[in-house]
Structure 1
Amino acid sequence: MAYSGPYVAALPMYDWPEMRGEVDAQWVRLRDAFRQRGIDAPEATARSNRDLPPVPGGIRDGARKLIAPDPATLPPDEFDFHQLWLSPALLFGQTCWGPMELGLARRVQVVAQPSYDAFEGGQGELYSSALVMLADGGPSVASPEDGRAVIPFDRIRGKRFIFNSPDSMSGLLGLTRDLDAIGESLDIFASRSESGGHRSSIVAIAEGRADVAAIDCRSWALAQRFEPAAQGVKVVGWTARRKGLPFITARTTPMDVVASMREAIAGLGLEGSVAKQPFVERVG
């Protein structure tokens, strides 16, 4: 059944405090383009659980199975991204391919893939992660033109690895797959710990609480702009390029609305590619 209440939009994945103005400006461009095509896009983006419409009885799938609690029952000042992604009110949001591959894909539709051309390590819809360690006076390693993984085993073996979250493609899963492809594993590290965010991982390395992390190329660019700790960290390698963070909408969003959003995004030139079909039909 299609959702009939007010829509919600959010662009949380790169919404650093210093980026709020730029994120808001991006949403205004999208919002106005959507509205020009008859879509009732919300005035502003959601940034906390309190901004999500309540769902009495909790969020349920097509079989009426409970998949998430009512947003109104969550701490209002926090922002549960999984709650956002599963909300039937989601008109436009952004996620990571880690959660998508771990089950989110069957709950949402992919609208488009943003372009990463503006960032070292990005190419069109593809992005890679910078492997960062404490700076030692030497130069950083440039992103390879062919987009293949560059992993400095002699530097990272036996070190303390820190990652943002267990379901992150850029911070953990991508590097895991690159290691698997050459017969290695995360066991090359002396320890593994979770930081809660790419920015926190960079700070942990700069403060000596960890040795190495994988930071997606756009987050690394943001860190170089806004995080002082990044000045004490350098790039020592790169993961292979993979699809960047997709723009998504609820599974129940009507296809004519999805098609109109794709047209709007293409018209704004924001995309690396526009999905032609729901992701669930393209798995594998």
Structure 2
Amino acid sequence: MSEFIAALPMYDWPEVRHEVDAQWARLRDAFRQKDIDVPETLMRRNGDLPPVPGGVRDAAGSVIAPDPATLPPNELDFHKLWLHPALLFAQSCWGPMELGLSKHVQLVGQPSYSAFEGGQGELYSSALVMRAGELPSVASPADGSALIPVDLLRGKRFTFNSLDSMSGIIAPTRDLEALGEGLDIFSERSESGGHRASIIAIAEGKADVAAIDCQSWAQAQRFEPAAEAVAVVGWTRRRKGLPFITARTTPERIVVALREAVAALA
């Protein structure tokens, strides 16, 4: 059994679990060719994480996360996963990275978003969605620039997946600021808990607008019935997509090998 753990939780919807497993199989085989001790399967529950008696500590010895054994076993706390000292490979978000996670992990690489509208290579953008019928759906700008219909958004109820999400709130905030505006154009702001939940809230009339990263939006169009009641009215500017990371304590030789393998698969 490997001493390491791996997870790819960011797009791991139940309907695409087999696709995520297949993605991991490709990565796992590439890592093994680099003589890395790789876990066979992905972690999907707090209960699958190895215990860390006394809690996870940073380089200075301060506790930065509790022992996973104390967490609800059938849930998955992304932040605790990312901080786990046995983490070999996972996908994070640039929001948490900018807010402090980057001090405790090492960057491995970036996935490609070219398969999705709004993505190009390592860059992705968010679709601004509202209930269908407000305006015709608009295509992602070819040059990757922001397309923010401020007048349409003003006074609407904005919902977002989480406060540290780059795609859900940080990116639209920055694009609004570039136009001399801010989140105060919205009459209300609420946290939905996830991109899929934001789409459902809009379809059900509980919110008016959300920013959904382009891969999640593509998945919603495939699997979420509520997406049929929602249309794209704008796009955020393209930015770096969700990064692959490894623990701060992962040895340099392994980090270099991980980076080479990910780059070769890109």
Q: Structure 1 residue 14 and structure 2 residue 4: aligned? A: no
Partner of 2:139: 142
SS of 1:132's equivalent in the other structure is: strand
Deviation, structure 1 residue 33: 1.2
Match in the other structure for 2:110: 113
Q: Which runs of 4 or more aligned residues in structure 1 lie more than 6 Å from their structure 2 counterparts after TM superposition?
A: none
Q: TM-score, normalised by structure 1?
A: 0.92
Letter in 1 for 2:191: E
Matches within 5 A, 1:25-44: 25-44=22-41
Paired residues, number: 265
Q: In the alignment, does 2:213 pair up with 1:213?
A: no
What whole-Å deviation, never above 9, does each CA across 1:116-143 have from its counterpart, x for those lacking one? 1110000111110000000007531100
Q: Secondary structure at the match of 2:110?
A: strand
1:47 matched to 2:67? The reply is no
Choose which of 157, 163, 182 in structure 2 pairs with 1:185. Answer: 182
Choose which of 224, 228, 231 in structure 2 pairs with 1:227. 224
Q: Quick one: distance in 1 between partners of 2:4 and 2:141?
A: 41
CA distance in 1, matches of 2:134, 2:228: 11
- The 2-side partners of 1:236 and 1:174 are apart by 16
Residue aligning to 1:79:
76
CA RMSD of aligned residues (A): 1.0
User: Matches of 2:54 and 2:192 in 1, distance apart?
Assistant: 33
Are 1:103 and 2:100 counterparts?
Answer: yes
Provide the identity percentage: 73
Q: What pairs with 1:134-283 in structure 2 (closer than 5 Å)? A: 134-136=131-133, 138-268=135-265, 270=266
Q: Is the 8 A contact 2:119 2:125 kept in 1?
A: yes
3-state DSSP class of the match of 2:257? helix
Q: CA deviation at 1:266?
A: 2.4
| Structure 1: runs of 5 or more not aligned | 271-284
Q: TM-score, normalised by structure 2?
A: 0.98
| Corresponding letter in the other structure for 2:68 | P
Partner amino acid for 2:109? A
